[in-house]
Every structure is written in structure tokens, then in C-alpha cells.
Amino acid sequence: MTKEQKYQETENKIPDGTTKGELMKLVFSENELSNVDASLPLAMVNVKDSFWMVMNYNNNALGELQDMRDILISNNN
């Protein structure tokens, strides 16, 4: 299965109308969530899949851009 197909399969499991904040609560633990920001760098605003992207500061003080679909996929394996 390609990465795009895995992403589509993951997206289909999320109910319509789910907000980014609700999704973040599903993906991250309560402790992790305190170091994750839904806001993105200005350069990312017009990216097609920006809904799935967050800035994660848990492992890097400067933050790292992370796709929540990747986390969901790895948690299901």
C-alpha cells in the first residue's frame, strides 16, 4: 500500500466535522499535547494537507513539523 493510500485510509476513519483540536487529543497523550501547537509557520498556511500538520515541541525545543496521519498509522501497526 502506498503512503497516499495509507493516508486516505486513515482520513476515512476520522468522522466528518472533527476539529483539529479534537484530532490532536486523539493522537497525543495529555502530557504530549501540552507541547504540541496547532499553529503552523506562515509558509505552511496554503499547504493542501495543513489540517493534519502540527508543530511538535516534545523532542525538539525549536519544534518539528509533524503529520498526525503518520502517528496514527504507526500506532495502528
Domain tally, the chain: 1
Mean pLDDT of 52-68: 94
pTM here is 0.87
Mean pLDDT of 57-76: 93
Boundaries of domain holding 24? 3-13+20-75
pLDDT at 48 over 90: no
- The rounded distance, in Å, linking the Cα atoms of 34 and 56 is 10
Of residues 45 and 67, which shows the higher confidence score?
67
In the predicted model, what is the mean pLDDT of the chain?
Answer: 92
- The rounded distance, in Å, linking the Cα atoms of 50 and 42 is 11
